[in-house]
Amino acid sequence: MKEISDLPTPAANIEGNVWPVFPGQRAAMMLSLLFQLEQSQWWPPERLQAAQFRQAAELLRHARRTVPYYGERLADFGWRHGKPLTAEIWSELPLLRREDIQDAGENLHSRALPKGHGKTETVSTSGSTGKPVRVVATELTAAMWNAFTLRDYIWRRCDFAAKLVAIRYDYTQSAVYPDGKQANSWGRDNGAALPTGPAALLSIMTPVASQVEWLARQRVDYLITYPSNLEAMLRHCQAEMIRFPTLREVQTMSELLKPSIRELCREVWDVGIVDMYTCQEAGYIALQCPEHEHYHAQAENMIVEVLMDDGSAAAPGQTGRVVITHLHNFASPLIRYDIGDFAEVGDACSCGRGLPVIKRIAGRVRGMVTLPNGDQFWPFFSNRKFNEIAPIRQYQVVQKTLDSLEINLVAERKLSPDEENRLRTLLAERLGHPFAMTFNYFDEIQRSAGGKFEDFKSEL
């Protein structure tokens, strides 16, 4: 395992100081956070939970006193600051849903932000769920985001002198093809603590063939992109026999990562994938374990609960709703926020970390197929199976009613009646019901405003 002592030396902040380095104030704060995170990841679960509830108690007191929404919502909540906050008391707090955030508006914002939390900025989600939300973040929450980004690099044993390339949504709209956007470091805030090599960014809205051509010019070491985009790039590279000799690893984000994409990445590029679980409004939820393909909840950043339908905590092997509490956002407290995802709880990890384990991220409600008998599940499709039937480049299955689907395709040509029937049979077998299916053909299936893509979505 890469230890803190193996990391690059921070930039000196005092003239004539070369070693040991006296870092600047922001770098010193980041290094202090990293030191604490290095210790706390090995704490037993009981100690982690106790620390979480100490922080949550401060968050609750602040929210009830300064946030109008919580002042009203928690008026009758029996717990008072100074009393122990336990798991039993915590479970009595009502859940916060997306609709609640939308309805609350500015009433979810603190009227008296504590000193030291810094400047604020508004953060908006992409709206891929159909229910975009807007919250206020602070410099403190940004610092936490950066600290967990660095933890991720450390867990992955990244070479900080290497080149990091991202193909993702570009909020500045400046990373356009053919040049993209070049930078001297992986991130200004991260670089203040630990020097890094160069970075490059390309808009996810770039056609796949152009993405591959651009990437070939970058001499990339680490690539970050969305799973759906990675799969499209891999299919293109597989057909054209393109590899990137300097590429060491791919990281995925923002969407559900299917096991088949991990296999395809090893097959085509001979590198592995490291996935992360985040949400725009709260930051890091879980990072992939350095030794396994499951995830560790980032307990220092938030309380992550996985709840069954009756509100009880899911046990290892059970799948439930993901509910998070951001422990450090005092500007727009998100307390027991049901983010609309489902996940499977895992057993304690053999790596020795006490951080909670998420074995699998199952998906969102709108990514579930609903059968006429009421059964629901998350479908998984295989691009390989589709291509055995016809030259399909991209697909999207949309459930319109309990009995009907629309199949949106990007293909080299329109499928023959026989090919469409074979695809109907494949989908009916995979979904367990003979849905009526309508085929639509497109030159391109558009991504959401935030660059995300869903291969299945329900409009029920």
The DSSP annotation for 206-258 comes to S-HHHHHHHHHTTT-SEEEE-HHHHHHHHHHHHHHT---TT--EEEE-SSPPP
CATH assignment of 369-458, among 3.30.1380, 3.30.300, 2.60.40, 3.30.70: 3.30.300
Query: What is 33-56 written as a DSSP string?
Result: HHHHHHHHTTS-HHHHHHHHHHHH
Bridge partners for 441 per DSSP: 409
Task: Count Cβ neighbours within 10 Å for each residue of 250-276 and write b for 16 or more, e otherwise.
Answer: bbbbbbbbbeebbebbeebbeeebbbb
Instruction: Note the pLDDT of residue 4.
Output: 54
Segments making up each domain of the chain, as ranges: 369-458
Query: What does DSSP say about strands 283-288 and 272-279: parallel, antiparallel, or unpaired?
Result: antiparallel
Instruction: Note the pLDDT of residue 1.
Output: 41
The larger pLDDT score, comparing residue 268 to residue 189, is at 268
What are 214's two structure tokens?
């651009």
What pTM did the predictor assign?
0.84
CA distance 338 to 336: 6
What are 171's two structure tokens?
């909020």
Render pLDDT for 80-131 as a digit per residue (tens, 0 to 9).
888 999 999 999 999 999 889 989 999 999 999 999 999 999 987 755 444 6
The larger pLDDT score, comparing residue 136 to residue 127, is at 136
Render pLDDT for 292-349 as a digit per residue (tens, 0 to 9).
999 999 999 999 999 999 999 999 999 999 999 999 999 999 999 999 899 999 999 9
| Lowest pLDDT segment from 22-31, 194-203, 333-342, 373-382 | 373-382
CA distance 30 to 144: 9
Instruction: Note the pLDDT of residue 366.
Output: 60
